[in-house]
Structure 1
Amino acid sequence: MTAERSLRRDAQSNVEKLHAAALTVFSDRGLSAPLEDIAKAAGVSIGTLYNRVGSRDQLIDAVIPAVVGEKLLALKERTMAEPTPRARLERFVTCMIDLQLSDPALNDAMLRRFPDATALINACDRSTALGAELIEDAHAAGVLSQDFTTEDLMAVLWMAGTASHDPRAPSGWRRLVERGVAAAWIE
């Protein structure tokens, strides 16, 4: 009985080490970082990773949604503190691009590179809903062209997310993205 409890404690310790290592490796290198590197960083075998955590998507869902949720909540608070619908939407776009630039894991999440990581996708859906709400508010205030839709916003963020992590992307990609959004304003 003692050996079984010890194993359970060791197994739990391995899971905790794997989660901590995954959080670090994913944050530094993105969600497609090799699982072998996570196991190595945790000091366990790849077999232990698969045995204790499961698939990549399960590992992503275990560690990333809480972090993404915190960052997106902070983004929402900064966005909603702005005084006008235009300022809120501009803040949202700028902050989302900055997050995509600074956090490879969040960028992978926003680009939906791992669609089977359902908890992560649900967290990202909340930011999409916020973007949709901001667009509706800007339309209602008459400051944003009715032609600019949530789909357009997601396309802008997709382009920014793709360009921001492609070393072959032209250096002016962000200026072009900002011009695309600026062209949608009416006033």
Structure 2
Amino acid sequence: MTSDPPRLRADARRNVEGIRTAALDVFRAGGLNSPLDEVARAAGVSKGTIYHRFGGRQGLIDSVVEELVAERIRGIVTSVDAVDDPVDRFESYLRQIWLLQYDEPAANDVLLRAMPGSEQLIALCEHASAAAARFLDDAQATGTIRDDLTPDDVHLLIWERGIIARACDQQHRDAYRRSFEHTLRGLRSDA
């Protein structure tokens, strides 16, 4: 017979929810490597409380990853799946992922695999990679996208764009977008 985990007292439940809320805010603003001291300060608890309740950074990330970024990435895949034209679908996927990387430092960290110890994050990356490979295959079948482009190349393009988003935090979003439109044109077979 298995026993249920002990129920948390009301104040402990409030602490856990306060920590989760603070982590969402801090990670959205600064990425997954934001200091836990910032999370603790925002939650009004000690860093030790975070370790006690979540076991450390990885446990805290795992507790918020679904709300933090998984919904957004899955939403992109779902919305792009609804696009009829295979080339538009592939390019829309890249545009949306690249803008997500620019807009959300935590999503960028996930796509850059900055936290390799999290099974949830690995599964999310694999889901995104499988979708990208499928979109690429469909787009290449039209003859419009270069046939020498591989899923690994697409992964590297996402990785490179993530590094650019990190390094160019002072770059305006329109300039970032303009830059990746050049990249997209280079993926066309007639480029």
Is the structural similarity TM-score above 0.5? yes
Counterpart selection for 1:178 from 168, 181, 191? 181
C-alpha separation in 2, matches of 1:65 and 1:162? 23
Structure 1 segments unaligned to the other structure (5+ residues): none
Partner of 1:143, secondary structure, is coil
After TM superposition, the structure 1 stretch with the greater mean CA deviation from structure 2, 52-61 or 9-18, is 9-18
- Once the two structures are TM-superposed, the CA of residue 105 in structure 1 deviates from its matched residue by 0.5
Moved over 6 A (4+): 168-173
C-alpha separation in 2, matches of 1:180 and 1:7? 51
Counterpart AA for 1:166 = A
C-alpha separation in 2, matches of 1:183 and 1:38? 42
Partner of 2:167, secondary structure, is coil
Counterpart AA for 1:184 = L
After TM superposition, the structure 1 stretch with the greater mean CA deviation from structure 2, 64-73 or 78-87, is 64-73
- Once the two structures are TM-superposed, the CA of residue 142 in structure 1 deviates from its matched residue by 2.3
Partner of 1:112, secondary structure, is coil
Counterpart AA for 2:51 = Y
TM-score using structure 1 length: 0.88
Where do 1:1-187 residues align within 5 Å? 8-167=9-168, 175-186=178-189
Retained in 2: the 8 A contact 1:65–1:120? no
- Once the two structures are TM-superposed, the CA of residue 115 in structure 1 deviates from its matched residue by 0.6
Cα distance per residue 1:37-96 (max 9 Å; x no partner): 101111111111111111211111110233322112221232123221100011001101
C-alpha separation in 1, matches of 2:52 and 2:35? 16
Structure 2 segments unaligned to the other structure (5+ residues): 1-5
Cα distance per residue 1:88-146 (max 9 Å; x no partner): 01100110111011101001111111111221221122111100100111122222222
Retained in 2: the 8 A contact 1:26–1:105? yes
C-alpha separation in 1, matches of 2:171 and 2:50? 38
- Once the two structures are TM-superposed, the CA of residue 14 in structure 1 deviates from its matched residue by 1.3
Retained in 2: the 8 A contact 1:156–1:177? no
Retained in 2: the 8 A contact 1:160–1:173? no
Retained in 2: the 8 A contact 1:60–1:120? no
Retained in 2: the 8 A contact 1:92–1:131? yes
Retained in 2: the 8 A contact 1:111–1:158? yes
Counterpart AA for 1:119 = Q
